[in-house]
């Protein structure tokens, strides 16, 4: 019984990984905002990415980022920089 259970779990993990990859790609590319309408400043995005800005303002930004690929990319770049600096 262990074999099939492990196989199902591995398949489930692969499906979850595929879903997360597709969601990330959609956030990064499927919501263009060339005029950057409604976008917070670069300083605000950086402050959120490094954890200096939290609370309601950060929450409002996260709602915006869910439909703005440029902001999502900028945020992820700042997060990557912050992680490298650690």
Q: Return phi, psi of residue 30, to 5°.
A: -90, 0
Output the pTM of the full model: 0.71
The per-residue pLDDT for 6 is: 58
Are the C-beta atoms of residues 54 and 25 closer than 8 Å to each other? no
Residue 18 has a CB neighbour count (10 Å cut-off) of: 10
The per-residue pLDDT for 62 is: 86
Mean pLDDT by 10 residues, the chain (86 residues): 60 80 85 92 94 89 90 94 89
């Amino acid at each position: 019984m262990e074999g099939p259970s492990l196989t199902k779990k591995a398949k489930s993990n692969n499906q979850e990984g595929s879903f997360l990859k597709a969601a990330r790609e959609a956030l990064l590319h499927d919501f263009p905002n060339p005029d950057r309408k409604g976008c917070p400043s670069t300083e605000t995005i950086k402050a959120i990415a490094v954890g200096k800005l939290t609370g309601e303002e950060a929450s409002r930004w996260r709602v915006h980022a869910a439909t703005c690929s440029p902001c999502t990319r900028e945020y992820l770049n700042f997060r990557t920089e912050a992680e490298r600096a650690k």
